[in-house]
Amino acid sequence: MFKVRVYVNYKASILDPQAAVIEGAIKRLDEEGVSDIRVGKVFDFFIQAQSKEEAKEKVDYISDNLLANPNMETYDFTVTEVN
């Protein structure tokens, strides 16, 4: 059993309106000095596999086909063995 965390973020070249809104809202909270906001999604789950390599292959397949939109988003993930 492996614990998986997948991060999905917009590609750097894609305009992120949600991040722009949050940056404005933070300024209205009177908090200064916040910059370069990126908003992403995170998926936590467990996966059964025979080996860490097999787990990574499965997670890559799931991320590419379901969790991320490869046209606009990039993803990376961590896989940790648990008992």
Rounded Cα gap, residues 29 and 46, in angstroms: 38
Of 13, 15, 44, 71, the one binding a second copy by CB under 8 A: 44
Type of residue at 73: E
- Give the footprint of a second copy on residues 53-72 (CB under 8 A): 58, 61-62, 65-67
Q: Distance (Å, rounded) from C-alpha 46 to C-alpha 6? A: 11
| From 29, 71, 82, 83, residue interacting with a second copy (rule: CB under 8 A) | 29
Chain contacts with a second copy (rule: CB under 8 A): 7, 9, 22, 25-26, 29, 31-49, 58, 61-62, 65-67
